[in-house]
Structure 1
Amino acid sequence: MTAARKLKRWYVIHTWSSLICTAFLLLICVTGLPLVFRDEINQWLQPHQYQALPADTPMANLDRVAQASRAMYPGQLIASMFIDDDEPQIMVWMVPSFEQMRADPDVMHAIRFDARTAQVLETEGDAAARRKTFIDIMLALHRDLFLDLPGELFMGLMAVLFVLAIVSGVLLYGPFMKKLPFGTVRAERSARVKWLDLHNMLGIVVLAWTLVVGLTGVMNELSTPLFALWQRTDVQTLLASYRGRSVPEQGSLPSVQAAFDTAQRAVPGMRLTSAVFPGNPFGSPYHYLFWSEGDSSLTSRLLTPVLVDANSGQLSAVVGMPWYLRALEVSRPLHFGDYGGMPLKILWALLDLITIVILGSGLYLWIARRRHQSARLARIVTAHEQQAAAGVLR
C-alpha cells in the first residue's frame, strides 16, 4: 500500500471516528467539567453543619450507630455503613430485606449520623423518593445517559472511538505539517484553514491528556462488568469453603465495632471506609466485608477488601484485588484529576475546555468542508449547463 493510500485510509478513520463520537464526547466534556469540582459544588449546594468538637474527638461506637438505626426502622436490615473520610459523618444504608434489595437496589434508604456523637443528622428516602442533585444528574449523563449498563457500554464504545480519533489524528499530523513549523496557525488564510491549523495544534498540545482521559474513560465504563467478573470468579472461589455453613441472622451478628477493629488491625496504615453487612448481595453471606483505602492522595483510590467471619468475629482474609480492578482503581483519579488538590483540578478543567474547542472545531471543519464541496459541485454543474446552452445556441 502506498503512503498516499495509507494517509487516505487514516483520514477516513479519523473523520468518521471523530464524527460518530463528537456529540457524545461534547456531552462528556461538558458534564465532566462540574464533576472535576463535584466535592466543592456539593458542599456549596448542600452544606453540612456539624457540632463544634475537638479535632481529636474519637469516632462513635458503630454498635451504637447500628442500634439507633434498627430502632428507627424496626424489622429492617442494615445493608452497609459508610464512614466518610472527608466529613465527620457515617451513612447507614437500610433495606426492607435483602431479597427486595437483590430485586431492586433502589429500595435502599439512608440515615446520616454525626460520626463523633452518633446523633441522627438526616434521613433519606429510597431512590424513588430522593431528589437528584445537580452532580447526580451530571454523573448519570457522563457515565451512562441514565441507561445503566447498556448506557455504560455505549459510552465506553464512544470513548474507544475517541481514542481511535486521537491516534489517527497523530498519524495524520506529521505528514500534514512537515512543511510548516510546529504549531503554525496560518492567520492570513481563510477561516476554514485557520480553524484547521488551530484544531491540529491544540490536538497535539493536549495529546497526552486526551489519550489518558480517553483510555481511563474506557476502563471506567467497564467497571460494572469487571466487578461482576471478579464476583463470579475470585469471590466465588474464596467463599467456596464456607458453603453449607449457617448464615447468621442480623440480630445475632457479632459486634460490628469489634469486627471493624479486627479489620483495621489487619490493614495497618489504611483507612476503613465502609462495612458491608452479611447477606448484602454486594458482599458475602458469611462475612462482614470492610473496604479499606490508602491514607494518601495517591493511594486513596486503591481499595483492599477485608473479610471478618460473621459467626466468630475472627479475621478470615485480606483479599488481594486482581490486576484488572487495580487498573480500574488507578484509572478513576487519572480520569477526573481529583488526587492532587485544587491546582490539578484547575489544570484538568482547562484541558477539558481545550478539548471542547477541539471537538467543536472538528465539527465546524467537517461542515465547512461539506459546504465547500457542495459549492464546488454547484459551480461545475452551472458551468456544464452554460456550456451546453452555448452549444445549443450555436
Structure 2
Amino acid sequence: MTTSQTKKKGAGFPSPDLVRAVLKGHSGLGLAFAALLYLICLTGTIAVFANEFYRWENPQVERMETISGDAVQAAYRAAMDRAKGPVEHVYVLMPSKDRPWPTVRIDTEDGTRTTWIVDSEGRITGALRESWTHFLTRLHINLHLPQRWGIFIVGLSGVALLSSLISGLLAHPRIFRDAFHLRLGGSRRLQEADLHNRIGVWALPFHVTVSLTGALLGLSTVIIGAIGLAVFQGDTAKVYAIFTPPHPAEDTRPAPPVDLRPLFAKVAEREPGAPISYLVVEHPTEQGAAVMFEVESGTTRIASNDVYAFDRSGALYYQQQAAQNNIGQQILGSLGPLHFGWFGGGIVKIAYGLLGLGLTYLAAGGVHIWLARRRDKGRPAPGWERVWAAIVWGQPLALTCAAIAALFTVVGAVPIWTWGTISLAALAAAAVATPASLSGVGRNGTGALLIALAIGHAILFGANDMMALIVDGSLALMGASLLDVSSYSRTRLQVKSA
C-alpha cells in the first residue's frame, strides 16, 4: 500500500466509525430524555411570556409607572395586618414595564404565602390571580415535584440537551456545509431529518445558551456543593456569601414593623431617580429586621441591579454595585434573564418564543426520525408511534385545558390536576387510537379550545389592559393556525388515498 493510499484511507475527521458511534449515542440520549425534553422546551417557550400572562390573568388592575415610598409603606402595613401568623418575609415587587403594578407578598413562618395587588395609594385591591402562570412556571422549573429533586431533574435534562446538541454536530460532519439543503416533499424521514438538522444549525447559539443556562440553574446546588467541598472544606455558606448579600445579625426580640419610608429616602440619596425593582423585608417584627433593595443601575449589563441592605436603625450594612460585580456575580445574575429572554424588551421575547418553538420541534422531531427510520428498515414500532403522538399533541391540549381551569375557577390546585388528568387520558388513548387520530384530536382540540379561551377571557375580563387583548389575539391566532394545519393534513391524506 502506497503512502498516498494510506493517507487517503485514514483521512477525514471525524472518521466514519466515530460518526456512527456518536450518532448512536446521540439517538440513545435523545430517546432517553425525549418526553422530558419536549415538555420542558414547550413549557419554557410559553414561560418566556410569564409577565404577559400575569397581566392577562389580572387585566383590571390599575396600571402605573411608579409608586411612592409612602404608598409602599401603607401597602406593606396593610398586608402585614392581614397575615395569619408571624411574618417571616415581605416581598414588594415595584411597577415595571413588564408588570405595571406593584404587589406585596407575605410569607408566614408556617409556610403560608399570599400575594396582594395594591393601587397607587397603597390600598390592597385584592389577591393576585396567578394560578395559570404559577402552574406553568413551576412545571418548567421543577415539574411540580419537591423543589430540590425537580430542579435537579430539569438541570440534568439541560445537560442532556446540551450533550445532544454537541453529539448532533459531531454525528453530522456536513451539517454546516448543508445548512441550506432541504429535501421537502419526498421521503418523510429525509424531510424530518433535514428540518431537524437545519433548525439545529440555524439557531445553534440560542440552543446552546438555553441548554447551558438551564443546566447551570438546575444544578446550581450541586455546583455550589462541589465548590464548597473543594475550596471551603464543605462549608457551602462561604460559597453563597461570595454571590449573595449576608443575612443581618439575628435578634428575635419583638419590635414594631420596620418603617420603610426613611429607607426609601436613603436609597434615593445614593441613586437619585433610579427605579427600585423590588425590596425584601426580613423578620419585620423582630429587632433583627432588615430591608434589602434592588435598584436598576442603568448599566448595559444583563445583571444590572445595585443592591443595598439596611438594618432596622437604617444603617447600611451591605451594598453591591452592578458595575463592580465579580465574574461569578455577573454570571449568576445573568443566568435567569438569558435563559428566559427577560432582557431587551418585547422583541427579544418574541425571538425567544420563535426560537423556543424550534427547539421544541427538535425535541419532538428526533423521535419522529427514529420512528421513521425503523419503519423504513421494516421494523416499525406502532406502539411507540401511538405513545409519541399522544405525548406530542396531548401536552398542548393538557396545557390549554389547565389554562381554562385556572381562568374559570378559583381553586389554585385545579390547573395541575387538569393537566395531569388530560395527560394521562391522552396516554391511555394511545392504547387503542391510531397516531393520525391522536394527532388530529390533539391539534383540533387544542385549536378549538385556544379560540374558546381567548373569547371567554375577553368576555369575562373585558378590555382594560391592551396586553391582555394582545394575549387573547395571539391565543386565537394560534388556535386558528392549528385548525388550519389539521384541515391541511386531512386534505393531503385524502389526496394521497385517492
Equivalence map 1:1-394=2 (5 Å): 3-50=15-62, 58-73=68-83, 76-77=86-87, 79-86=89-96, 89-96=101-108, 98=109, 100=110, 105=111, 107-114=112-119, 116-123=120-127, 133-147=131-145, 148-175=147-174, 181-187=178-184, 190-222=187-219, 232-233=237-238, 246-251=251-256, 253=258, 255-267=259-271, 270-279=274-283, 286-294=288-296, 296=298, 299=301, 301-310=303-312, 312-319=313-320, 323-375=327-379
d(CA) in 1 for partners of 2:102, 2:176: 57
CA distance in structure 1 between the aligned counterparts of 2:274 and 2:224, rounded to whole angstroms: 22
**Does structure 1 conserve the Cα–Cα contact (< 8 Å) formed by 2:118 and 2:126?**
yes
Task: Name the TM-score, length of structure 1 as normaliser.
Answer: 0.75
* Secondary structure of 1:174's aligned partner: coil
| Structure number with bigger Rg | 1
Pair 1:248–1:308, CA change in 2 (3 A): farther
- 1:132 CA displacement: 5.4
Identity among equivalent positions (%) equals 21
Normalising to structure 2: TM-score of the pair?
A: 0.61
Contact 1:226–1:325 (8 Å) recurs in 2: no
Structure 1 gaps, min length 5: 125-130, 377-394
Moved more, 152-161 or 10-19: 10-19
1:219 Cα shift?
Answer: 2.3
Flag the 1:177–1:193 CA change in 2: closer, same or farther, 3 A. Answer: farther
| 2:306 and 2:319 in contact (8 A); partners too | yes
Structure 2 residue runs without a partner (length 5+)? 1-9, 229-234, 381-498
Distance in 2, Cα, partners of 1:367 & 1:285: 64
Q: Is the 8 A contact 1:270 1:295 kept in 2?
A: yes
1:66 & 1:343 partners in 2: Cα distance? 34
Q: Residue 122 of structure 2 aligns to which amino acid in structure 1? A: A
Q: Number of aligned residue pairs: give it.
A: 351
Letter in 2 for 1:155: V
Residue 158 of structure 2 contacts residue 211 of structure 2 at CA under 8 Å; is this kept in 1?
yes
Aligned equivalent of 1:390: none
CA distance in 2, matches of 1:22, 1:141: 16
Kindly indicate whether the alpha-carbon contact (under 8 Å) linking 1:259 and 1:308 is maintained by their aligned counterparts in 2: yes
Write the deviation string for residues 202-235 of structure 1: whole angstroms up to 9, x where unpaired: 2111111111111111123245667898982266
